[in-house]
Amino acid sequence: MHFYASQAPQAPQAENADGSGGPQTALLIMHGHPRDANRSFNAALDAARRAGRLDETLVIAPLYQVASDKAERCRTKGTPAPEPGDALWTCGSWLAGQNSQAGAGRTPINAIAALDALVAHIHQRWPSVHHITLAGFSAGGQMLQRSIGFAQPAPAGVSLRYVVADPGTWLYFDPLRPQPQRAGRDVDWAACSDGGCDYRMQLPEVASCPGYHDWKYGTQALPSSLGPTAAQARERYRQADIHYLEGALDNHAGKGTSYGALDKSCAAMLQGPFRRQRGEGYAAYVAQVLQPARPQPLSTVPGCAHDVACVLPSDAARPALFGSLP
């Protein structure tokens, strides 16, 4: 896998006995559907710079490669083209945690396993790094959120934090879905465009949306390549250090929301009509049903719609990305 990096790998002698001599933390940012790893990298650099953490933070932005003749709908100018031997996915398979393609001397690897391998590579090449924050925006947020319960444990001496920002859809670990309420009464999702709704969890009408709890929206019909069972993944997710970010203006179908790329399938619409509402409903599900071992807070980013360059460097995102690290 190609990846952008803000610092060169450390020489073995660069790290002192006390672990100093290099970056202590890393911020890994997962690109969106256009595979805009370069733009995501710049947004993460800006976030670290504004937080005053650029010198001590290694910024990494991986690129999930797609064959050039299949990348028309997910190509960003300025990112490198695939090279012989690269793992290759399709425009949609990497974000669903699927295997890369076989052939031409390539052994398939699951997209989540590839992310695990990159975490291990960071630990090996930058041994001073003892904390890694993995952040994902939009489709990268989808892939990252789905990976949490199925990822390998962190390397020894390394702690992981996850920041899931503006994903189009979410992985639920139970067949329940959110029903918005105001003053104790069920309301339409439209009443929640600017927040202020409560949510109760309910079983949707399965007949109207068969397969709504299948992977990648739920934990039925899990691909065997993922490894852990649904119950194991659910518990791993409960124990993880996770923060959520939603652009306050990512709540409608207008300009700046990339609404055309939003998943509008039946299974997706059961989670809410737009990204902000889907995120708020999921945060309620986490608090009410998953009841994680530590809080998994949701922060709303004022003034931002669906733009990684707005969301990541914001003041509202800073505590999630850089605050209270072990």
Task: For residue range 15-56, list pLDDT tens digits in order.
Answer: 544 455 789 999 999 999 999 999 999 999 999 999 999 999
CB half-sphere exposure, 273, CA atoms < 13 A = 12
β-strands 159-165, 131-137 pairing: parallel
Please check whether residue 76 is in contact with residue 35, taking contact to mean a CB–CB distance below 8 angstroms.
yes
24 contact partners, CB below 8 Å, separation of at least 6: 56, 128, 129, 130, 131
For residues 318 and 210, give the distance between their C-alpha atoms in angstroms, rounded to a whole number: 40
**Range 3-22 average pLDDT:** 69
Encoded tokens for 59: 């910024």
Encoded tokens for 259: 């609404």
**Range 103-129 average pLDDT:** 91
Provide the pLDDT confidence category of residue 207 given band limits of 50, 70 and 90. Answer: confident
**Angle at CA 177, nearest 5°, toward 175 and 183?**
145
For residues 22 and 248, give the distance between their C-alpha atoms in angstroms, rounded to a whole number: 36
Residue of 65, 84, 83, 89 lying closest to 75 (CA atoms)? 65
For residues 159 and 302, give the distance between their C-alpha atoms in angstroms, rounded to a whole number: 29
* Residue 243 confidence (pLDDT) above 50: yes
Please check whether residue 144 is in contact with residue 150, taking contact to mean a CB–CB distance below 8 angstroms.
no
pTM for this predicted structure = 0.94
Mean pLDDT for the chain overall: 93
Encoded tokens for 83: 């090279």
* Residue 316 confidence (pLDDT) above 50: yes
For residues 199 and 180, give the distance between their C-alpha atoms in angstroms, rounded to a whole number: 4
135 contact partners, CB below 8 Å, separation of at least 6: 27, 28, 29, 30, 44, 144, 162, 163, 164, 165, 312, 321
Confidence at residue 12, expressed as pLDDT on a 0 to 100 scale: 53
**% of the chain with per-residue pLDDT over 70:** 95
Task: For residue range 140-150, list pLDDT tens digits in order.
Answer: 999 999 999 99
For residue 165, what are the β-bridge partners?
137, 245
For residues 168 and 137, give the distance between their C-alpha atoms in angstroms, rounded to a whole number: 9
**Range 166-185 average pLDDT:** 96
- Mean pLDDT is highest, among 71-85, 150-164, 195-209, for 150-164
Task: For residue range 249-299, list pLDDT tens digits in order.
Answer: 999 999 999 999 999 999 999 999 999 999 999 999 999 999 999 999 999
Confidence at residue 326, expressed as pLDDT on a 0 to 100 scale: 47
Neighbours of 295 (CB within 10 A): 11
* Residue 62 confidence (pLDDT) above 90: yes
Confidence at residue 206, expressed as pLDDT on a 0 to 100 scale: 79
Tally of residues, the chain = 326
For residue 242, what are the β-bridge partners?
162
Confidence at residue 292, expressed as pLDDT on a 0 to 100 scale: 97
* Residue 325 confidence (pLDDT) above 70: no
Confidence at residue 205, expressed as pLDDT on a 0 to 100 scale: 85
**Range 233-245 average pLDDT:** 97
Task: Give the strand order in the sheet containing 177-182.
Answer: 185-186, 177-182, 198-202
Task: For residue range 183-202, list pLDDT tens digits in order.
Answer: 999 999 999 989 889 999 99
* Residue 117 confidence (pLDDT) above 60: yes
Higher pLDDT, 9 or 136: 136
